[in-house]
Structure 1
């Protein structure tokens, strides 16, 4: 029981780290609220390295994700008739004050992370869990970004689950 409490506290710290990193990524892109694409970037920042290893397993360098996200945002603007060059002028925003806010699409991501079936009561939340949850979405900027990188959600999810399984075995 004590181990389960410790794991939940560790998970809360991981979520805090993810949320803060996602907000930094969103603010750097001139966005006030982070969405799944920013949590995707934040998963690669986690010290466990499992999201990076999942991408390596797929032969993809995660360094291209930020540019792919920007391209998806530009394409979304262009589809409405707006000039994608408007994004080039987006100045980084300072961190928000007050309670944490994220895009509405993050609610589903957080619920899926909370409901993730853990193999053991002590299995920690990792970047691979975040990657697997975000990869299962067929819509949104994160899903379009993965497709732009030549990845489908099923393959990304499988690579993430393989990293989680390997992490458990250690």
Structure 2
């Protein structure tokens, strides 16, 4: 078993995007709060909070909200387990309160079947010509239903991310 393969009995979600940016620029989309504010969350959601502590053992607190759709601000804590800048970023995702303290996923509004911890591994592979293939892997799921919900949210979030590389990031 490697970081690329989930443990037996766990299901995995994989999303891939080719970005018109070098790996270091793509990396910043996950580590720079100003950039994260601009894309995190599915269509119709904003990212009001992005307090980043990107270091092994550090925890970032990130939120998404869509009050007009009936979704108040929901928080998550990302505790980093591996950082190989600008090639790989791994963290444990947990639903949390505004301070980053863990919450039971269902108490936080997640649907049944969402595990307490979802491992995330993001790789940034250089394609040449200033392009990067970004692969996002989520693991820890044991049933397919929450994977499909997460896939929808992740795909919509990444669809919001890609156009940022055609803009001036500052």
TM over 0.5: no
More strand by share: 2
More helix by share: 1
- Normalised by the length of structure 1, the TM-score is 0.31
Which entry has the higher C-alpha Rg, 1 or 2?
Answer: 1
